[in-house]
Structure 1
Amino acid sequence: MKDYARFISQLKYVLSNDGRVDVEGADGQATVAFTTRDGRRFDFRASLDEIYRLVELNDSEILSRAEDSSPLEAQLRLFSVHVWEAVETAADDARFFEVRDFGVVAV
């Protein structure tokens, strides 16, 4: 069974330097939004469970650290890079994030 509370806590932590994560709802069906430091808001067009599954697809070796308590920590760090790249390449009128097998896209 997935530990959504821990996942949310870690997701908020890895993205805290770039903005704020807001989660509404419970368990896997919760909705997720990311607001950048300059106030741009992107709503994920995916449930929390879908985001969790995408994160689990990330290679945990790429950004792993010896002190990581689980592979999920490294996977979330890589996901945060995907989010940052989506923000940096987003069109001015983009308001949503779509999760793809290769990462995150702003639309």
Structure 2
Amino acid sequence: MTQCRSERAPDDVLVALAEPIRRQVLTVLAREGGANSTSLATSLPITRQAVAKHLAVLDRAGLVCAHRAGREVRYEADLQPLRQATRWTDTLAAQWERRLNAIKDLAEEAMEP
């Protein structure tokens, strides 16, 4: 079971990261290099079953990769979808910045005598 590196919509990533616990799960995975749901549950204030549900959401968003090793499933952070979402938000911010600057320029021109 390995599912990694597929193109994801920024919406999926943003929805997955809207939940603080999922951000914590992703942070732990990125910091530790990987873990299973049981070990994640010991470092978080939720049950193993809740961790598994949060991992499923992160997996759908492409933010984690699952690797089966015997009976254990280990998860690793995949930050590429996060980088893609960041590029998208940066592009959106730049568009808004240009629009706001154009409005500012128009307003300043209108105020000139």
Looking at secondary structure, tell me which structure has more strand per residue: 1
Normalised by the size of structure 2, how large is the TM-score?
0.24
Normalised by the size of structure 1, how large is the TM-score?
0.25
Higher relative contact order (CA 8 A, sep 6+): 2
- Of structures 1 and 2, the larger Rg is shown by 2
Looking at secondary structure, tell me which structure has more helix per residue: 2
